[in-house]
Amino acid sequence: MRLRFLLRPGWLALTVVVFAFAVCCFTLLSPWQFGRNTEREQQNSSLETSFTAAPVPLSQLLPPGSVPDQHTEWHLVSITGRYLPDKEVVARLRTVQGEGAFEVLTPLRTTDGTVVLIDRGFVKLDSKSGVLPFATAPGGTVQLTARVRSDETDPKNRDAFADASTGGRLQSYVVDSRVVARAGRIDIRPGYFQLDTDQPGVLGALPLPQTDSGPFFSYALQWIAFGAMAVLGWLYFTVRELKPGGALTESKQPGERTRRKSVSEILAEDEAEYAESGPSK
């Protein structure tokens, strides 16, 4: 029976590998890229809305007890309060427009007594990869317009520390209100607020993310194509085996042992057949 070759161990192993790869492409890799594309679209939508929307009071957009999420991130809020420069922390290992930098994180106590974390922007590195001197946050009551941001998370949950690179200032591996709160022993509401240009206390204003869709949608289509190609390739060689002279065809010469043709032999035979039957010039 010509279909018996499908039960051979080698062919079964090939079939398992091909279809496992195809299933991964269709159910894991492609949906993962589609999901990333959806996340990027949601971020772009929030960012574009924040470009045109007027700032609203912090308590209106984020009532007490609420946490920034994908629906509120990047929106502009107005905040009034006093900076707490003695509780300041700088975030290390940052990259701004392709260059290394530190971000300066200064808590601010609002007029209602709530403490929020303000990202005042970035400062560049000196020749020894330390932080360059930067202006102290202004004293007195200030009125700010800032963008809502969600806390970053350090997988190792490391606390702030000080060394010579920051002149003894506390530094953190992430921009996280929880880390700054532990370092300053104060309560800070979740999330942080990124200053735009021309705001009291801003240093180098951080650039906003680009609103392009990114390559995720095309990557998702590529994974679908890879899975389809794997299945079509398996079908091609299966049909090839059903024809006389297939790679698993047994030799009929007396004394010869059964063997399989290699893929290179199959391709060579196909090229020879094309050369013999190809169009004449």
Kindly report, residue by residue over 59-95, the tens digit of the pLDDT. Answer: 999 998 899 988 888 899 999 999 999 999 999 989 9
Quote the pLDDT of residue 253: 52
In the predicted structure, residue 160 carries a pLDDT above the cut 50:
yes
Quote the pLDDT of residue 264: 64
In the predicted structure, residue 138 carries a pLDDT above the cut 50:
yes
Quote the pLDDT of residue 251: 47
* Residue with the larger pLDDT of the pair 164 and 77: 77
CA distance 189 to 256: 81
* Residue with the larger pLDDT of the pair 276 and 21: 21
Q: Name the residue with tokens 């490391």.
A: 158
Q: Which two tokens stand for residue 271?
A: 């090229």
Residue 164 makes CB contacts below 8 A (sequence gap 6+) with 130
Question: Is 137 in contact with 201 (CB distance < 8 Å)?
Answer: yes
Q: How many residues does the chain have?
A: 281
Quote the pLDDT of residue 5: 63
Quote the pLDDT of residue 46: 74
Average pLDDT over the chain, rounded to whole? 86
* Residue with the larger pLDDT of the pair 244 and 95: 95
CA distance 47 to 34: 20
Quote the pLDDT of residue 122: 96
Question: Which DSSP letter does residue 125 get?
Answer: B
The pTM assigned to this predicted structure is 0.68
Bridge partners of 171, per DSSP, are 90, 161
Q: What is the pLDDT averaged over residues 38-63?
A: 85
Bridge partners of 115, per DSSP, are 109
Q: What is the pLDDT averaged over residues 243-268?
A: 57
